[in-house]
Amino acid sequence: MIKRILIGIVGLIVILVAVSQLLPSDVHVERRITINAPPQAVFPMVNSPKNTEKWSPWLERDPKAELKYDGPPAGVGAKLTWRSDVPEVGAGTSTITESKPDSLVRVALAFEGHGDATAYYQLSPAGNGTDIVWGFDVELSRNPIERYFGLMFDSMIGADYERGLENLKKLVESGG
């Protein structure tokens, strides 16, 4: 009886590992919003780590997070290092790697203990406003647990991205 149970458990583990290798090896999360202001008003809020502090959904969770800024105040090379005891905030760095005025900001993310990812803000004119897309991309390893975890990324950070974009919209539209 115990032998059959052990064989069943090992078989289940083998199946779960095999299935995990068929799961996507990359994760893409994207949210968008229209802000009633021109790209020139929105761009500075995403092109500066200091300005993202004003609308970050994660800093709402831990306003006491330790923040350190390095490099230029905005644009390529601008860097934020953060540390928080709140698990959802964690610790890591965010460095702007590409900056195209009023249209695109690309950011390299390094999460302490959780690997690297890329985020971006893509802005485009929309009448008198700006459509902004906030995206996140990460490559997953072959680790089965990481592959299954990847299936949950959208639901895990999507709400934070939506909250952040709402905060950004309110900030920019109020002239902040």
Distance of CA 39 to the CA centre of its chain: 21
The reported pTM is: 0.83
Judge whether 1 lies within some domain.
no
| CATH, residue 98 | 3.30.530.20
Residue 76 maps to a domain: yes
Overall number of domains in the chain = 1
Domain of 118, in residue numbers: 25-173
In a domain, 51, yes or no: yes
Q: Note whether residue 7 is domain-resident.
A: no
Residue 62 located in a structural domain: yes
What is the rounded distance in angstroms from the CA atom of residue 74 to the CA atom of residue 121?
14
Does 150 fall in a domain?
Answer: yes
pLDDT at residue 115 in the model: 76
In a domain, 46, yes or no: yes
- Report yes or no on 107 lying in a domain: yes
Question: Please, what is the end-to-end C-alpha distance for the chain in angstroms?
Answer: 68
Q: What is the pLDDT of residue 28?
A: 84
**Along the 176 residues of the chain, how does pLDDT read in single tens digits?**
888 888 888 777 777 777 657 655 677 889 999 999 999 999 999 999 999 989 999 888 898 999 999 999 999 999 999 999 998 899 999 999 999 999 999 999 998 877 789 999 999 999 999 999 999 998 776 666 665 566 567 777 889 999 999 999 999 999 87
**Is the distance from CB of 31 to CB of 158 less than 8 angstroms?**
yes
List the Cα angle 155/164/39 in 5-degree steps. 125
**H helices of 21-152, where?**
39-46, 49-52, 57-61, 144-150
The candidate with the shortest Cα–Cα distance to 119, out of 129, 104, 100, 141, is 104
